[in-house]
Amino acid sequence: MRAFRMLNWQEPPALEEIDLPEPGPGEIRIKVAGNGLCQSDLHMPQLPAAMEELMGWTMPFTLGHEVGGWIDKVGRELTGDKRRYEEGQPVAIVSTRSCGACLECDAGFDNTCDSNRRGRGYGMNGGIADYLILESSRPIIPLSGLDPKIAGPYTDAGATSYHAVAQVRDKLGSGRTVLVIGAGGLGGFAIQFLKILTQARILVTDLDAKKRRRAKELGADASLDGAMADLAGEITKLTEGRGVDAVLDFVGSDVTIATSVACLAKLARYVLVGAGEGRLEMPLFGALASKSISVTSFIGGTIADTRAVLALADRGLLRNDVELFDIADAQKAFEKLARGELLGRAVIVP
C-alpha cells in the first residue's frame, strides 16, 4: 500500500510503498477515505531524534492524525467492546490516543492521557496511507450520514477548537465578548461553535484578509487585521473599555500573547491553543492577579469533544471547507499549507 512517511529524523517525509498491514489480536484495520493535514504535521521534519527517548516515538512512521474511513478488517479477540463492527461501515477516528484506564481518562480528560505522547501520525503509523491499523476499537466513532472522506478535520481541528470553546462557555453569556486569534482551520471551527453554543459577541483577528472575510461568513461579528498598530487598544475600544471575557489564541506567538493579556476583562479566561512558542515578557502576577484572570492550555480534543463535533456536523450545522489532494500530491498539499494558502483544511485522499 501507499503511505506518506517520515523515514528519518530531520528529513522531509516521502511517499513509499509498504506492505499491507494485517490486524493482530484486538486490532482493527481501517481503509482510509481521507486524512486532514494539520499545522503540527509541518513541524515533524524539524523534530530531534531525542523524541525517541523523550516520547517513545519510533522511526519510520506514517504521518496523519485526522482520519475518516471505513472498517476494513477486524482482528481476533476484540474484547471489552460490545459494539459490532462490519466491513464497509463508515467511521471517524479520534485523533488523540488514550488508554481508557488512567485517572485522566477516567475523568473524561483523555486528551491529557500519557498514551498521547505518541499517537497515530506522531511517532506511530497514521492515516496518510491506503490503510491504518488501530490497536483497539477505542478511538472509533461510527458515522451515520457524514462522508468519511471529509470527516477527518472534525476529529482534530474540530475537536481541539471545541475543547477550547468548552473552556470558556461559562464566561460567555449575553453582553459578553470573545476574541478568536487566528481564523484558519481551528479558528474557523471555533467561530462556528461559539455562534452555536454561546451568546457572546465574537471578535476575530488574523493577518490574512481572505481568512478575515471567511471569519465574517462563519459568524464573526467583527474581524480585525492582526498586524494593526495597537490592536489591544482597538479591541478595548470595541468593548467600551471593558476588554474581552475570553481569548482563544490559536497562534500563541509573543505578539498574540501580549495582545491577549492586554485586552482581557476582569475574570476573563485566556486559552492558549497555538504552539507558536511565544513568551510573556512581564511579571505573571502583575499581568493576571488584579483582574482575577485564569489561563488554561491543553493539546487536542477528547473522545467526548469529537462525538459532540460529529453530532453537530451530522445535523448540518458546520461548514467544513476542505481542499482535496490525491495521496500522490501529498507533498504539494504540505507546501500549500506551509505557504498559508489554504482557506480550510487540506485532505489527502488515498
- Tell me which residues touch Zn ion (CB under 5 A): 38, 40, 98-99, 102, 105, 113, 156
Judged by beta carbon, residue 109 or residue 228, the one nearer Zn ion is 109
Comparing CB distances to Zn ion, the nearer of 103 and 229 is: 103
DSSP 8-state code for residue 229: T
- Listed in sequence order, the DSSP H helices in the chain are 39-43, 51-55, 103-106, 152-153, 159-166, 185-197, 209-218, 231-238, 254-262, 284-288, 303-314, 330-338
For strands 28-36 and 14-17, give the pairing: unpaired
Q: Which is nearer to Zn ion, 48 or 108 (CB)?
A: 108
Give min distance, CB of 267 to Zn ion, in A: 31
SS3 296: strand
Cβ–Cβ under 8 Å, residues 230 and 236: no
**Closer CB to Zn ion, 35 or 98, in the complex:** 98
- Closest distance to Zn ion from the beta carbon of 302 (Å): 11
Q: Could you please report the per-residue DSSP string of 99-144? A: -SSSHHHHTT-GGG-GGGGSEETBEE--SSBSEEEESSSTTEEE-S
Q: Which CB, 102 or 304, lies closer to Zn ion? A: 102
Check if the beta carbon of residue 80 is closer than 8 Å to that of residue 103: no
* Smallest separation, CB 176 to Zn ion (Å): 29
Please state the separation of Cα 126 from the chain's center in Å: 15
* Minimum separation from the CB atom of position 79 to Zn ion (A): 18
Q: How many residues does the chain have?
A: 350
Give least dist CB 298 to Zn ion, A: 13
Q: CB of 241: closest distance to Zn ion in angstroms?
A: 37
